[in-house]
Amino acid sequence: MSVSLGTAQVGYSWLTPVDPGSHIGIVVTTKIYDTQNTLIETDVTNYTMTTSNVVTLSGASSQNQSGTLTITVQ
């Protein structure tokens, strides 16, 4: 038997470029809740898609009660 440790909700959005040929921004947000449905962590991952349909990681962040961790791709 398994025991639930909580739930996760995953959502996404994209940023349409204003100029033709510009990159498209993709944002994936994951919200993690405990068994009492209390939000315990939020993770945001950012991607970029080129006009050639190549998707690359451009950054990420994770936030919980201990603080925030930010990842910057160089």
For the entire predicted model, the pTM comes to: 0.84
pLDDT of residue 1: 64
19-65 per-position pLDDT tens digit: 888 899 999 999 999 999 999 999 999 999 988 899 999 999 999 99
> What pLDDT score does 39 carry?
95
> CA 39 → CA 19, 29, 35, 52, distances in Å?
37, 13, 10, 37
The domain segmentation of the chain, as residue ranges, is 7-72
Residues in CB range of 15: below 8 A, 6 or more apart = 24, 25, 26, 27
